[in-house]
Amino acid sequence: MPRAIISPSVLASDFGQLTAECNRMIKGGAEWLHMDVMDGHFVPNITMGAPILACVSKGVPGIFMDCHMMVADPEKWVNDIADAGGALYCFHLEATADPLSVIRAIRARNMKVGVAISPDTPSTAITDEVANAADMLLVMTVYPGRGGQKFLDRCVPKVAELRARFPDKDIEVDGGVGPKTIDVCAHAGSNVIVAGTAIFNAPNPEEVIASLKTSVNT
Ligand code: DX5
Ligand code: ZN
């Protein structure tokens, strides 16, 4: 399995102190920062967009922004997110009829490619061609739209199915992940771990980051 990567979801942070919050996570051992971009169309909520990401990349030198694009028209935002310093552009399979074209657009801007599936989308919806063209596959373990939801166990088998098909690919889980749910995710083969409330609401985020990492690596 590829190496463990912890990607705290800044949706659970204090947006008034966003760059300080990101720096705090990096100091605490996080490799990536998970940026939840919601457009009010693909999901009902609106969170942040390219202008805020640009501020974060300026205020947090060397940050790897793992951009989770919960947007209706994923191709539309590729240039803006690349200009803002996005390192990985993860779009939802449900949001496009032509994933390969979105992937080509992301590659053209030198970002890494992620492909996400929501709880009701089967792992088989990710074709070999799409998966092979991507760097990372994201299995949502809650319905996209907001933080702090309950982990959906029924999504876990999809992680195992994808790990069996793609032994070397990064596989991310997102939604309700924390110390209580990490073991099933890690056991199924996920190596990129998103956690929002479990990290930001903890008295010692660095301890949670370290323990999530240990669970993946053991
Ligand atoms: C949900 C987002 C998640 C979420 C994770 O739509 O994609 O990244 O913020 O937050 P927690 O870990 O609190 O479920
Ligand atoms: Zn997310």
Q: What is the pLDDT of residues 49-86, one digit of tens each?
A: 999 999 999 999 999 999 999 999 999 999 999 999 99
Mean pLDDT of 103-124: 98
| Mean per-residue pLDDT, 179-190 | 98
Calculate how far, in angstroms, residue 69's C-alpha sits from the geometric centre of ligand 1.
12
* Atom number in ligand 1 closest to CA 149: 14
Residue 82 pLDDT:
98
> pLDDT at position 77, please?
98
Half-sphere exposure of 25 (CA within 13 A, CB side): 35
Q: Domain residues for 145? A: 5-217
The pLDDT of residue 138 is above 90: yes
Q: How many angstroms does the Cα of residue 47 sit away from the middle of ligand 2?
A: 11
In this predicted structure, what is the pLDDT of residue 1? Answer: 84
Could you identify the atom of ligand 1 that is nearest to the CA of residue 144? 6
Cα–Cα distance, 115 to 117 (Å, whole number): 7
pLDDT band, residue 218 (cuts 50/70/90) = confident
- Count how many domains the chain has: 1
Band the pLDDT of 209: cuts 50, 70, 90: very high
Between the CA of 146 and the centroid of ligand 1 the distance, in Å, is 6
Q: Residue range 128-147: average pLDDT?
A: 98
**What does the pLDDT average to over 112-131?**
98
Q: Are 168 and 137 in contact (CB under 8 A)?
A: no
Domain of residue 181, CATH code: 3.20.20.70
Ligand 1, residues at Cβ distance < 6 Å: 9, 11-12, 34, 36, 68, 142, 144-149, 174-177, 194-198
Per-residue confidence (pLDDT) for residue 84, from 0 to 100 = 98
pTM for the model: 0.98
**Mean of pLDDT over the chain:** 98
Buried b (16+ CB within 10 A) or exposed e, 140-169: bbbebbbbeeebeeebbebbbbbbeebeeb
Active site residue 36: yes
Nearest C-alpha to atom 4 of ligand 1 is from which residue? 147
Ligand nearest to the CA of 12: 1
Which residue out of 14, 36, 83, 153 is catalytically annotated? 36
